[in-house]
A and B are shown apart, each in its own frame.
Chain A
Amino acid sequence: AQKITQTQPGMFVQEKEAVTLDCTYDTSDPSYGLFWYKQPSSGEMIFLIYQGSYDQQNATEGRYSLNFQKARKSANLVISASQLGDSAMYFCAMRDPVSGGYQKVTFGTGTKLQVIP
């Protein structure tokens, strides 16, 4: 089974509107972390937001918030008030323990977001 699933290959959003990018994950370990990264056309991965599995509240960072639904194993990214500069690929990722006692980060396949003026 895929550890991270992003079912939306591409999304469009009108400038100044909010958009939700979907992410579901699969792990049997109670301790894990969830991330979102942005990758503009320049290629560099930019960290956006982090949610720990034991965090009680949804993470927020400026216009980014993570809608964490533990029972559903979903970690959707919400971008409020979209800007043209938000056009990029967005990757969901999870860090969970693997054999050997350390943690490994697995990325999803990404969602390409295009903001329309």
Chain B
Amino acid sequence: EAGVVQSPRYKIIEKKQPVAFWCNPISGHNTLYWYRQNLGQGPELLIRYENEEAVDDSQLPKDRFSAERLKGVDSTLKIQPAELGDSAVYLCASSFTYDSYEQYFGPGTRLTVT
């Protein structure tokens, strides 16, 4: 069974440019999470989806970040415009339901904003 797939693995952009990350969760997993992990820190939740619905986006900086999960399968996280402080690893995870205690993580996208 394929794990959580993310692309790209690495991205370098200049500040004020847009960037998008893509995630394909494990087949059959209804819950999808986007996390941001700053250097030396643990992951912080940005947004959680239950199928197509964003049920927790309280930590998402809505002025520049947006996310979508059309058809309740794969998801895209976008930043526009990027700032220097957005440099981090963006992790996608999925679980069967929000009650499932095990989240399966993808390899992450390392974003560097110059």
Chain A interface residues toward B at CB < 8 A? 4, 33, 35, 37, 42-47, 50, 52, 91, 93, 95, 98, 100, 102-105, 107-110
Listed from nearest, the 4 A-B pairs whose CB atoms lie closest are: A107-B42, A45-B105, A50-B101, A43-B108
What is the CB-to-nearest-CB distance from B3 to chain A, in angstroms, rounded to a whole number?
8
Task: List B residues 55-114 near A (Cβ within 8 Å).
Answer: 55-56, 89, 91, 93, 98, 101-108, 110
> Is the CB–CB distance between A108 and B42 below 8 Å?
yes
> Is the CB–CB distance between A91 and B42 below 8 Å?
yes
Q: Which of A4, A45, A46, A47 meets B91, CB within 8 Å? A: A45
Expressed in whole angstroms, the Cα–Cα distance for A103 and B89 within the complex equals 23
> Is the CB–CB distance between A43 and B110 below 8 Å?
yes
B: interface residue count bin: 20 to 34
> Is the CB–CB distance between B89 and A104 below 8 Å?
no
Expressed in whole angstroms, the Cα–Cα distance for A100 and B108 within the complex equals 28
Nearest CB to that of A112 among chain B residues?
B40
- Give the interface SS of chain A, mostly helix, strand, loop or mixed: strand
Say yes or no: A42-B107 contact (C-beta < 8 A), given A35-B101, A102-B55, A103-B98: yes
Expressed in whole angstroms, the Cα–Cα distance for A102 and B31 within the complex equals 13
Expressed in whole angstroms, the Cα–Cα distance for A109 and B93 within the complex equals 18
> Is the CB–CB distance between A104 and B56 below 8 Å?
yes
| Chain A residues, Cβ within 8 Å of B45 | 104-105
